[in-house]
């Protein structure tokens, strides 16, 4: 199996976009290490380490517009037609909710199955988050998430994509998951969800 982990927000041409932020240490300021794209890097690295230890191939994307990253993912899948390929748009959420969500393109059967597998792994291992959802995204529903993965559907049938939003940065009960250890756990659970999908 091949897993493509996209560190989204970060690396957009000409932009200093680090995504959402939260004052995690309570000092009244939001520092760069409290911004989404720098925190997702921690769980990306943990997922990569676990997947590679299990013999899977991992690509980390961190530059270019999302459309060009989707093109890269499609190219990887086309070059490896015998491998299942998972594309994960890596994010953290904001807005005070109490759920994790794996969002898939409403047209994609493979994406739906990948989202369900990730949500099931989260439900099994992350008990401090209230609900673990797998939701369809489209231009009309969960449209922001849809834009993070919409170019994946045009790829070959061995490629499936999900936008992963594991926790809310501004929900107090989620704060332990925004530590180095908590983010590493999220990465390991993401790896487990991808691996389970790959075995199906």
Domain ranges of the chain: 2-198
Q: What is the largest CA-CA distance in the chain?
A: 51
Stretch 169-174: mean pLDDT: 94
pLDDT (tens digit per residue) in 22-43: 999 889 999 999 999 999 999 9
Strand pairing class (99-105; 159-165):
antiparallel
List phi, psi (to 5°) of 85.
-125, 125
Cα separation, 44 vs 60, in Å, equals 8
- Report the predicted TM-score, pTM, of the whole model to 2 decimal places: 0.97
pLDDT (tens digit per residue) in 101-127: 999 999 999 999 999 999 999 999 999
Name the average pLDDT for the chain.
Answer: 97
Fold of the CATH domain 2-198: Aminopeptidase (3.40.630)
Bridge partners of 18, per DSSP, are none
Give residue 200's pLDDT.
Answer: 86
Cα separation, 75 vs 20, in Å, equals 30
Residue 129, pLDDT above cutoff 90: yes
């Amino acid at each position: 199996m091949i897993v493509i982990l996209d560190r989204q927000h970060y690396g957009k041409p000409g932009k200093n976009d680090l995504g959402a932020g939260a004052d995690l240490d309570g000092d009244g300021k939001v520092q760069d290490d409290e911004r989404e794209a720098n925190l997702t890097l921690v769980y990306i690295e943990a997922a990569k380490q676990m997947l590679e230890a299990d013999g899977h191939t991992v690509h980390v994307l961190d530059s270019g517009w999302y459309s060009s990253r989707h093109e890269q993912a499609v190219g990887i899948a086309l070059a490896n037609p015998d491998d299942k390929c998972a594309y994960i748009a890596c994010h953290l959420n904001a807005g005070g909710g109490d759920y994790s969500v794996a969002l898939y393109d409403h047209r994609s059967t493979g994406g739906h199955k990948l989202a369900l597998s990730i949500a099931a792994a989260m439900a099994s291992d992350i008990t401090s988050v209230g609900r673990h959802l797998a939701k369809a995204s489209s231009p009309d529903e969960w449209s922001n998430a849809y834009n993070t993965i919409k170019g994946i559907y045009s790829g070959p049938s061995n490629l499936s994509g999900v936008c992963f939003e594991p926790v809310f940065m501004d929900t107090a009960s989620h704060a332990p998951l925004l530590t180095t250890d908590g983010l590493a756990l999220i990465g390991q659970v993401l790896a487990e969800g991808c691996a389970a999908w790959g075995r199906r």
